[in-house]
């Protein structure tokens, strides 16, 4: 899987994408960390680093499905925060669309999109 997940001691989760990343990669990574309500409640933040991604194979409908996984997780843990680092135009743009689906609908969540770390 070109998405590597690291669980931090402070209950954060760091995602690092590399190479070509697909819908299945994003969806599978979310399914792993959101596998139970207990796991979701323990997450304090997520940092999604898209800096090393060469290509994303993800349709708009698929992006919406991934965003809804995060939106559903916010319903379980409204204190969770998500930061996405997308320095390339394509990753930054996709992150902004994800933000509209996952975070702007209710606007209670703290989601931030950055070009640099």
Number of domains in the chain: 1
Evaluate whether 2 touches 18 at the Cβ level (below 8 Å).
yes
**Cα(24)–Cα(21) distance, rounded to whole angstroms?**
8
pLDDT (tens digit per residue) in 35-72: 999 999 999 999 999 999 999 999 999 999 999 999 99
Q: Which domain holds residue 94?
A: 3-114
CATH number of the structural domain spanning residue 41: 3.30.750.24
Q: What DSSP string describes 22-35?
A: EHHHHHHHHHHHTS
| pTM as predicted | 0.90
Q: Are strands 12-22 and 45-57 parallel, antiparallel or unpaired?
A: parallel
Kindly report, residue by residue over 5-29, the tens digit of the pLDDT. Answer: 999 999 999 999 999 999 999 999 9
Q: How confident is the model at residue 83 (pLDDT cuts 50, 70, 90)?
A: very high
């Amino acid at each position: 899987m070109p998405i590597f997940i690291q669980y931090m001691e402070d209950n954060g989760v760091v995602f690092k994408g590399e190479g070509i990343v697909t819908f299945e990669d994003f969806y599978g990574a979310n399914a792993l960390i959101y596998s139970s309500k207990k796991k979701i409640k323990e997450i304090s933040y997520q940092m999604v680093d898209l800096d090393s991604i060469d290509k994303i194979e993800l349709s708009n409908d698929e992006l919406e499905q991934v965003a809804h996984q995060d939106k559903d997780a916010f319903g379980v843990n409204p204190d969770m925060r998500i930061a996405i680092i997308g320095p390339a135009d394509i990753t930054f743009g996709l992150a902004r669309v994800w933000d509209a689906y996952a975070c702007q609908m209710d606007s209670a969540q703290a989601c931030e999109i950055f070009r640099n770390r």
